[in-house]
Amino acid sequence: DAKTTQPPSMDCAEGRAANLPCNHSTISGNEYVYWYRQIHSQGPQYIIHGLKNNETNEMASLIITEDRKSSTLILPHATLRDTAVYYCIVRVHTGANSKLTFGKGITLSVRP
Amino acid sequence: DVKVTQSSRYLVKRTGEKVFLECVQDMDHENMFWYRQDPGLGLRLIYFSYDVKMKEKGDIPEGYSVSREKKERFSLILESASTNQTSMYLCASSTPDIAQPQHFGDGTRLSIL
């Protein structure tokens, strides 16, 4: 899987949008961008994923640049419960082994 | 919503014991996975299964085995527990389609004394 680069941490104010960046400059044409988050002592929670187009669901929006070398996860109205480690992952299907490779992620702290 | 349930949130065992970690999913997913998560090392794949009675080794299978007798259930077995197997263990399930996500359970924090 392609390598991703995320800053180690960021913070934002409650109620404001949180924009979490991710670089994946070596991404291939058939690799998806996935975002998960992990709140302390819980399992990773799926947020959103995309291939080329921007995506939106009830949790977040995913903006992928036209060259696909970077993306941004947007939490439109961050709450204290959004404080977590957020992982950006690029994923390619390699036969039956479709494991996820989690990096160190970015720690988002939402302040009151 | 997809539900992946791990049998225990916290477990304490002694070295040399045979330990069973159970995982059940309710979405009829073909694929199931066992990862362990350690500080500074991220998630590492231990074993995965893409069908009943089928299994493949992940990146760190040594000291572990798995069993998948029914589609919804995937068990991780520590044959003879050792202290270096103290970790957070995470189960996940998915369809074979990489355009669909893996869904995780809440994890089992296992301590081997």
CB contact under 8 A, B42 and A93: no
CB contact under 8 A, A92 and B98: yes
Q: What pLDDT is attached to residue B86?
A: 97
Residue closest to B26 by CA, chosen among B51, B5, B47: B5
- Is B25's pLDDT higher than 70? yes
* Closest chain B C-alpha to A44 CA, distance in angstroms: 6
Cα-Cα-Cα-Cα dihedral sign, residues B77, B82, B84, B86: positive
Distance CA B58, CA A79 (A): 37
A68-82, B66-80, B91-105: segment of lowest average pLDDT: B91-105
- Is A6's pLDDT higher than 60? yes
Whole-number mean pLDDT of chain B?
93
Contact list in B for residue A101 (CB cut-off 8 A) is 42-43
